[in-house]
Amino acid sequence: MTLEEMIQAIARDRSRPAFVGLFEHFAPRLKSYVMRLGADERAAEEVVQETMLMVWRKAAGFDPRRAAASTWIFTIARNKRIDRIRREARPEIDPDDPLLASPPPETADLPLQRRQHGDRLHTAISALPEEQAAMVRLAFFDDMSHRDIAREHSLPLGTVKSRIRLALLRLRRDLEDLE
Amino acid sequence: MPRFHVQEDLLIDYASGALPAPVSLLVASHLTFCRRCRDEVGEFEAIGGMMLEDLNPIAMAADALEQALDGLNDADAVADQAATLTSIAKRGESTGLPAPLLNAFGGEMGGISWARRAKGIEEATLATDDVRYSASLMRIQPGVSIPNHTHEGEELTLVLGGGFSDGGAHYGAGDVCRADAEISHAPVADPGEACLCLVVADGPVRLTGLVGRMLNPFLKL
């Protein structure tokens, strides 16, 4: 069963085995994504849980003709993460709150890494000139806007824009070749 | 179909999730009008999805899957959030406001409180936690001109209804006008229909004309 079919099986049959399949594949990647963006382990686990719950609830809205499973789940996680930051950014949160300070849960051993589409994209990304690849990673995984990246790397905004743009156009071409 | 679009860097930042809330709101509202930009965002999100696949997995807590499965029972019992979003989108059809915007104003056009800024110009400011960007709805009566002004930062204006002319260009529903610190401009609303816009700005607005300078203390844009 493909990842896309698993989402459809949830929509159609409320299939728990399909949910388990999606969870095992995506949850550790989503955790990695959210932690790269600066969340601690505990917060990352919560975002992942919320994301997977939305996958279950919104499965009927998934259209495999419009988006791959990874694309759809990426957008849900991105939004869940943003919702969380905006809540946490409010001044009334007390940093001394004992709940915030609780230790991260015990972790299991790393599961076997599954790389299906990942390999192909990895190839495409590693074929990019490093300066472009770095910009794309910053844009997607370091929560930096074009403007932030320019400031951080002391580059003119125009240079950042054109590097990201060139890299994304190239990746987009590679993705089209894969389809 | 809009003729003036959101620039690509904003679409990329929207797709990656890096935009401040007020700008994100403007982009989402433009996307409601614009198929072309929506498709483009979809492609950038696909790249995000593939990059997610490419990340090194980090193991979840030992009981994480069990916890997730337990949560599914409750999820089935709760009203679907997607259904709520749909109903807001449906109400949007009658108000003319894109769902993200209507949602940001609490879901009801009637809940928006307008403040008069000058003759023929009303503003409804959106409460936001963002420290840099402000967002507000502007309602400009037919034929009324916004006093000549410049910006410290940039200003993005999305037309929601009616239209306006600025610097030789005409902007209609769905169009986005981007002005920066270099530009002093005085947009004029079309005759016949009030112009409704979403304005997102990242710095104080400065009025530059003589009348504008006189209005400055009152025009808290």
Contact of B147 with B185, CB cutoff 8 Å = no
**The pLDDT value given to residue B94:** 54
Q: Looking at residue A125, what is its pLDDT?
A: 73
In a domain, A45, yes or no: yes
> Between chains, do B18 and A137 touch, taking CB under 8 Å as contact?
no
C-beta atoms of B82 and A57 within 8 A: yes
Chain B partners within 8 Å of A72 (Cβ): 49
Supply the pLDDT for residue A170: 81
Closest CA to B60 of A19, A49, A80: A49
Give residue B204's pLDDT: 58
Other beta carbons less than 10 A from residue B218's beta carbon: 10
B60/A contact by beta carbon, under 8 A: yes
Q: Looking at beta carbons, which residues of chain B come within 8 Å of A24?
A: 65
DSSP H helices in B59-116: 64-77, 81-95, 99-104
> For residue B164, what are the contacts with CB-CB under 8 A and spacing of at least 6?
B140, B170, B171, B187, B188, B189, B190, B195, B197
Cβ atoms of residues A59 and A8 within 8 Å: yes
Question: Whole-angstrom Cα distance, residue B221 to residue B208?
Answer: 14
The whole model's pTM is what? 0.80
Tell me how far apart the alpha carbons of residues B160 and B158 are, in angstroms, rounded to a whole number: 6
Beta strands in A40-131 (DSSP E): none
User: CA-to-CA distance for B125 and A53, rounded, in angstroms?
Assistant: 34
Same domain, A71 and A132: no
Please state, in angstroms and rounded to a whole number, the distance separating the CA atoms of residues A120 and A141: 19
Q: Do A48 and A85 belong to one domain?
A: yes
CATH number assigned to the domain comprising residue A8: 1.10.1740.10
Q: Is residue A105 included in any domain, yes or no? A: no
Whether chain B has a CB inside 8 Å of the CB on A53: the answer is yes
Task: Say whether both A79 and A142 belong to one domain.
Answer: no
Chain B contact for A102, CB < 8 A?
no
Show residues of chain B in contact with A81, CB under 8 Å: 17
pLDDT tens track, chain A, 179 positions: 999 999 999 999 999 999 999 999 999 999 999 998 888 999 999 999 999 999 999 999 898 888 889 999 999 999 888 888 775 432 221 223 232 223 333 333 222 223 344 456 667 777 888 888 877 777 787 767 788 888 888 889 888 888 888 888 787 777 666 55
Structural domain includes residue A96: no
- DSSP 3-state assignment of B183? coil
What per-residue confidence (pLDDT) applies to B126? 87
Query: How crowded is residue A159: how many other Cβ atoms within 10 Å of its Cβ?
Result: 14
DSSP annotation of B109 = G
Q: Give the C-alpha separation, A69 to B113, whole Å.
A: 41
Quote the tokens at residue A33: 């994504």
Residue with tokens 């930062």, as numbered in its chain: B153
Chain A residue with minimum CA distance to B83? A58
| Residue from A42, A168, A176, A178 whose CB has the most chain B CBs within 10 Å, to mutate | A168
**Mind telling me how many Å the CA of A154 is from chain B's nearest CA?**
18
Residues of A in contact with B58 (CB under 8 A): 28, 31-32, 35, 44, 107, 110
H/E stretch holding B188 = strand B188-189
Domain boundaries, chain B: 8-104, 109-215
Q: Which two tokens stand for residue B61?
A: 């807590």
CA B9/CA B154 separation, integer angstroms: 14
Give domain status of residue A121, yes or no.
yes
CATH number (domain holding residue A158): 1.10.10.10
Residues of B in contact with A49 (CB under 8 A): 64, 67-68, 71
Report in angstroms the alpha-carbon separations of B110 from A145, B4, B56, B59, B113. 35, 29, 49, 48, 8
Q: How far is CA B91 from CA B86, B108, B109, B202, in A?
A: 9, 8, 9, 30
Name the fold adopted by B109-215. Answer: Jelly Rolls (2.60.120)
Residues sharing a CB contact under 8 Å with residue A64, sequence separation 6 or more, in sequence order:
A4, A7, A8
Number of domains composing chain A: 2
Count of CB atoms situated within 10 Å of the CB of B155: 23
A with B: how many residue pairs have Cβ under 8 Å apart?
Answer: 187
- One of 3.40.640.10, 3.90.800.10, 1.10.10.1320, 3.10.129.10 is the CATH number of B8-104, namely 1.10.10.1320
Note down the domain range covering A3: 1-89
Q: Which residues in chain B are contacts of A141 at CB distance < 8 A?
A: 51, 55
Cβ–Cβ of A27/B65 closer than 8 Å? yes
| pLDDT lower than 50: segments of chain B | 82, 89, 91-93, 217-218, 220-221
Which of B42, B62, B75 has the CB atom closest to A67's CB atom?
B42
**Contact: A125, B76; criterion CB under 8 Å:** no
Whether the CB of B49 is below 8 Å from some CB of chain A: the reply is: yes
Beta-carbon separation of B57 and A35 below 8 A = no
Q: Do A148 and B18 touch (CB under 8 A)?
A: yes
C-alpha distances out from residue A14 to A8, A11, B37, B76, Å: 9, 6, 34, 10
Separation between Cα atoms, residue B134 and residue A36, nearest integer Å: 29
> Which residues in chain A have Cβ-Cβ distances shorter than 8 Å to B131?
none
Asked if B81's CB is within 8 angstroms of A31's CB, the reply is no
Nearest to B61 among A36, A89, A107 (CB): A107
Percentage of chain B beyond pLDDT 70 is: 81
Enumerate the residues of chain B whose CB falls inside 8 A of the CB of residue A156.
none
Q: Is residue A102 part of a domain?
A: no
